[in-house]
Amino acid sequence: MVTNVEEAVDAAKRIGFPVMLKASEGGGGKGIRMNDNEEELRANFPQVEAEVPGSPMFMMQLCTGARHLEVQIVGDEHGNAVAINGRDCSTQRRFQKIFEEGPPTIAKPDTFLEMQRAAQRLTQQIGYIGAGTVEYLYKAETDEFFFLELNPRLQVEHPVTEGLSLVNLPATQLQVAMGIPLNRIPDIRRFYGRKDAEEGDGPIDFMTEAYKEIDTHVIAARITAENPDEGFKPTSGTIERVNFQSTSNVWGYFSVGANGGIHEFADSQFGHLFAKGSTREQARKALVLALKEIEVRGDIRTTVDYLVQLLETEAFKENTIDTSWLDGIIREKSVSTELDPHVTVAAAAIYRAYAQVQAGEANMVEALGMGQLGMGALKSLNNFPIEIAYKDIKYNFQVQRTSADVYTFTINGGSFEAKVRESPDGSLLVEYDGMTSKIVGFEEPLGLRVIIDGTTCLLPNIFDPSELRTDVTGKVVRYLQDDGAQVEAGTPFVEVEAMKMIMPLKATESGAIKHELSAGSIIATGDLLASLALKDPSKVKKIEAFDGKFDIVPATPEFFVADPVTALENVIDGYERLSELRPLEELVQGLMKKCSSADEAANTVATLLQRFCAVESVFAGKVQDDVNQALVKDKKDALAEVVGLNMAHSQFTNRQNAILFLLRQFASLSIAQFAERPMTDELSAALTTLESLEGKEYGSLKIEASSLIREASVEPFSSRKEALRETLSNADDVAQLARGTTISSGVDLLSSFFTDSDSKIAQKSIETFVRRVYRAHNVLNMEVTEVDGVYTANFEFNLGGMEEPGPLRKGVMVVAKDEADAVAKFPSIVDSFSAKIGANTYDSPVNVIHVAYGNPAIIGTDAEASTIATAEAMVAKEKAKLESMGIRAVHIIAPQPEMDPRYFSLTSCDDYREDPLRRDMRPTFYHLLELNRLLDNYDVQRMNSVARNTQVYLGVEKSNTGRGPAPQSVFLRALSHSADLTTPSGSTRVLLTALDELDRAVLDERVTATTSTRIFLNLLSEVETSTDEALETFRSILGQLQSRYATRLLRLKVDEIEVKIRVKGADGSLTPLRLIASSMSGKWLKADAYLEFPDPVTGVTSQFCPLGEAGEDDAK
């Protein structure tokens, strides 16, 4: 017995360290400490005093390497004592039992029998009545045992003994208290094999007779509210649920239930499991399975995961442990419940992402219910960052929600998906990385606690290293250093009491300590206990950003939403699309491949369009706050729907891009797959709805919708092709056919006959095509030949509309089988053409080469780049020859099945690289539309147009020097072969067509409210009149148009109308004349005329001469 610390130190020195200090009234691990030296003894003595106040304390030398075995005894008032086998309780931490099992197989049978007999003798000698436990230390090495104590009560692990003996110990204890002798208690008689157990009363010599052989093994596990990651520190807090189902071989009980809790003054144990089997191994396996099935959810930490790991250690399986085994494991951290760090981080990121979205949506619903209509928070619902710090590493994820329940996490360029569903109990069922996990998370003062398939992980918050905070709830017992004293990292600085235990907390850094509380203060997890003036701030551990490959990222992308239609629906509903991982081309092509017919594809597209319009029709042409106010009123019981509509609308750009791509690719993909361009009633209705949306933001969509509607009204391709075949077959004069109006709508269609099986049709189509394309020029002669199935058209021409004919220009058009054939033949095409024309004698290139592919092939967005690259490589190899031959441009004509051909122009001025501005433009259009004039003064972007002979461009001035944005204009430039343009009806028709194009163009989101528009028309037909009469006619017609369409012209801000004509005199001479109605002088659309003097080689006008008031000599 020791009464103070000095007595304890003296006694320890006398008997020798290590020693055990124990309060006699303690138990369950409280009031007991092991001491290796005097310093530890002096520190532990006040802790034992505080844990069991007023209890006598005794001290003894520590017995190392021993097992804790105990014998269950019952004594009666008649002097009988029975030993009901015993238990092995060697698995302990801080001298508190964790596992109890029986029978104790570590002791030899004879030795354990002697331990039972000694326990019986002790019970009889002291006259003990009732159930109790005699505890021993057993040394397996020497087969010796030493008495510890007699525990005069029924212990919590008594069901272990009941499972072995089938003796009901509480009932037995009551019967003994009633004065019934042990030999007359039925359970005891059965235990000793008496057949007359119920009625018999014959004597039993408990000291000499043996009880029945034990054929069962039982292992028990205590469930405690402790944190195994922090040395089994007690934890306290609420418990939301405890889920455990007993089975035939595992039984358990819990002292708390749902919505209960464990306060800081309670014992940490709140549950006990008992597993049985015919052998120790079977019992162990049953307990492992049972522990894995337990679910405890709440503020507390539990040891459940850790116990599973302990049961799986080889030392436990082989039963080679002792009482210090678990404390050694805890000290060395050789057993851990930690998961792979990346699995833990991924689960934490998934939980936080889901929680953020749910909280955001709930807050928005609440705000709407309070009349707050702002939608700024929508931005953080589908695309947001998540930061996770774990083990001194910070992981920065970018989260994108790609559907209602699918999240994509991107880190360091790698991505993985997670599908999240919330269970009724609040847990998350998550699919990711090829597995399904159950995740529960709790945001706590010290960080995020996440439970992954039953394994608990704590991801601490990043705190200031100068702050020392508590991770337990309880009260401050005492500070171990004076205020202002130096404390070293890793040394205790305070003692706190939590759940009847006194425990020291250690400093995380070195420095001068400042107490923030006083002894006796009540504390909660996360409270600040002390501050540090850091000794060396430069040595403080830093959090590093993760910059490697995240292990969860799959080698190849995997998608939960594999169906392309569903993926597109998600985009249209406002969710994110990962453009790098799932390009629109892939989704749209997948949609088409999924459909079994053209009509099915059309109806699928219609469904997507209707889904888009269902949202936009709510907002189109209206103020968003007004819309939301009405929605809240109509859907006051379904405000989540209002949030969903706004979320979709807020992602307008992404949704619009998806719809635009779908509309632009649908026709070509349908033709490629089904050989037809369908238009069902459903698709027509959806396009009409899309076309009717009000608002400039829908401009591009409306253009595409109207284009598809218009194309659907065109006669089917097969019918048009057959009609053109008949026209070609009946044509005797191809030159006359090319100049006439018969094929005005079928010029591009001629490309489908370039390799026709009827050679006459093929040759006529080639000649007609060339003559029609060069109709504005003078084609002097042409020869179409066929050699080995290859058609070649050689022709000579000079520029039209010139007073002087200019240089003789030469061209060739060769029809190859396909792209590969063209690449193979191009060198011989160049050589053959070079032999015909020789070297160029002009300062500028004047000759042209056309290469057409015979076999039609779809050249969509994905194939376009490849086609251009192949053409550029083909031409680049012959660049030197082309320059010497004076080749102005190489034009590629690529027919497509049931569609207009693709045109690609590689020009000498661009070093024979493809010019995007000329793309899909017939070879002579660029010159006739005078686009070089635009490029000199504007940065030009091509815009969508409906008519094939019309191009629309958005130009931004290059010479802007102001502080604001550069002025911009929309330029409409068109060609016309119509001879009635000089009549009021013809001019009205052309102007209205132009204004329709401008109406569509100004809807483009790139066009600002101040953008002006300009119209240029090149009339290719010759006008038989004089220049003065032409100007008067222009002024007369312009006046009529201004009076009739002034409102529309002003709304579209038409600042200039320019018409280029060729006046044919009585002598047959041609005079280029430019008629201009401009507002630049201050008068709205004032009409003037200018004579043109083009360069005979380049065809570009180099001089203008005003006609009329300015006089013919005022050249400029």
pLDDT digits (tens, 9 = 90+) for 342-397: 999 999 999 999 999 999 999 999 989 888 888 888 888 899 999 999 988 999 99
Say how far apart CA 401 and CA 380 lie, in whole Å. 10
Q: How many residues does the chain have?
A: 1116
Cβ atoms of 418 and 407 closer than 8 Å:
yes
Say how far apart CA 745 and CA 31 lie, in whole Å. 102
Furthest-apart CA atoms within the chain: distance in Å? 151
Please name the amino acid found at residue 872. E
Q: What is the pLDDT of residues 939-955, one digit of tens each?
A: 999 888 877 788 999 99
Residues 6+ apart with CB under 8 A from 628: 368, 373, 375, 642, 646
Band (500; pLDDT cuts 50, 70, 90): low
Say how far apart CA 678 and CA 310 lie, in whole Å. 68
Q: What is the pLDDT of residues 1074-1084, one digit of tens each?
A: 999 999 888 89
Band (108; pLDDT cuts 50, 70, 90): very high
Residue 464 has pLDDT above 80, yes or no: no
H, E, C per residue of 759-782 = HHHHHHHHHHHHHHHCCCCEEEEE
* Helix intervals (H) in 842-911: 861-876, 879-885
Say how far apart CA 477 and CA 828 lie, in whole Å. 99
Residue 907 has pLDDT above 50, yes or no: yes
Q: What is the pLDDT of residues 232-243, one digit of tens each?
A: 778 888 888 888
H, E, C per residue of 548-603 = CCCCCCCCCCCCCCCCHHHHHHHHHCCCCCCCCCCCHHHHHHHHHHHCCCHHHHHH
Residue 962 has pLDDT above 70, yes or no: no
Closest CA to 874 of 811, 826, 817, 923: 826
Please, which residues bridge with residue 34 across strands?
A: 20
DSSP-derived 3-state class of residue 1022: strand
787-794 contact pairs (CB < 8 A, 24+): 790/814, 790/815, 790/816, 790/825, 791/754, 791/755, 791/762, 791/763, 791/766, 791/815, 792/832, 793/766, 793/767, 793/850, 794/833, 794/836
How do the residues of the chain divide into helix, strand and coil, expressed in percent and rounded to 5? 35, 30, 35
Cβ atoms of 957 and 937 closer than 8 Å:
yes
Closest CA to 300 of 341, 350, 254, 342: 254
pTM (2 decimals)? 0.67
Q: What is the pLDDT of residues 160-182, one digit of tens each?
A: 999 999 999 999 999 999 999 99
Kindly compute the dihedral angle of the four CA atoms of residues 47, 49, 50, 52, in this order, to the nearest 10 degrees.
Answer: 120
For strand 217-224 and strand 778-787, is the pairing parallel, antiparallel, or unpaired? unpaired
Q: What is the pLDDT of residues 571-626, one digit of tens each?
A: 999 998 877 677 888 888 899 999 999 999 999 999 999 999 999 999 998 999 99
pLDDT of residue 1100: 78
Band (1112; pLDDT cuts 50, 70, 90): very low
Q: What is the DSSP letter of 140?
A: T
Token output for 775: 């109709």
Say how far apart CA 449 and CA 227 lie, in whole Å. 12
Average pLDDT over residues 652-676: 87
Band (29; pLDDT cuts 50, 70, 90): low
Other CB atoms closer than 10 Å to residue 875's CB: what's the count? Answer: 23
Closest CA to 508 of 524, 519, 494, 522: 494
pLDDT of residue 934: 86
Catalytic residue among 14, 42, 153, 922: 153
Average pLDDT over residues 25-33: 74
Least confident span in 101-110, 742-751, 825-834, 1007-1016 = 742-751
Using a 10 angstrom Cβ sphere, with 0-12 exposed, 13-18 middle and 19 or more buried, the burial of residue 733 is: exposed
pLDDT of residue 1111: 44
Say how far apart CA 107 and CA 105 lie, in whole Å. 6
Cβ atoms of 540 and 511 closer than 8 Å:
no
Band (460; pLDDT cuts 50, 70, 90): confident
Distance in angstroms between the alpha carbons of the first and the last residue of the chain? 123
Residue 771 has pLDDT above 50, yes or no: yes
Say how far apart CA 737 and CA 721 lie, in whole Å. 16
H/E run at residue 330: helix 325-332
* Helix intervals (H) in 210-250: none
Say how far apart CA 950 and CA 929 lie, in whole Å. 9
Edge to edge, what strands does the sheet with 467-469 contain? Answer: 467-469, 528-534, 511-515, 486-487
Q: What is the pLDDT of residues 303-312, one digit of tens each?
A: 898 999 999 9
Average pLDDT over residues 1031-1035: 89
E strand residue ranges, 126-284: 130-139, 144-151, 217-224, 226-227, 233-234, 237-243, 250-254, 260-262, 269-277
Residue 495 has pLDDT above 70, yes or no: yes
Share above pLDDT 70 across residues of the chain, in percent, rounded to a whole number:
98
Q: What is the pLDDT of residues 852-883, one digit of tens each?
A: 999 888 887 778 999 999 999 999 999 999 99
Least confident span in 533-547, 846-860, 1081-1095 = 533-547
pLDDT of residue 961: 64
Residues 6+ apart with CB under 8 A from 494: 468, 476, 477, 478, 479, 480, 504, 505, 529, 530
If phi > 0 it is left, if psi is from -120 to 50 it is alpha, else beta; for residue 1109 that is: alpha
Instruction: Give the up-direction half-sphere exposure of residue 406: CA atoms within 13 A in the CB hemisphere.
Output: 18
Q: What is the pLDDT of residues 709-723, one digit of tens each?
A: 888 887 888 888 898
Band (1115; pLDDT cuts 50, 70, 90): very low
Cβ atoms of 561 and 546 closer than 8 Å:
no
How much is the mean pLDDT over the chain?
89
Cβ atoms of 750 and 743 closer than 8 Å:
yes
For strand 217-224 and strand 99-102, is the pairing parallel, antiparallel, or unpaired? antiparallel
Handedness of CA 937, 942, 944, 949 (dihedral sign): positive
DSSP-derived 3-state class of residue 385: strand
Cβ atoms of 1003 and 700 closer than 8 Å:
yes
E strand residue ranges, 38-129: 57-61, 67-75, 81-88, 92-93, 96-97, 99-102
pLDDT of residue 314: 94
Is 153 marked active-site?
Answer: yes
Average pLDDT over residues 987-1005: 85
Band (979; pLDDT cuts 50, 70, 90): low
Band (744; pLDDT cuts 50, 70, 90): low
Say how far apart CA 953 and CA 926 lie, in whole Å. 13
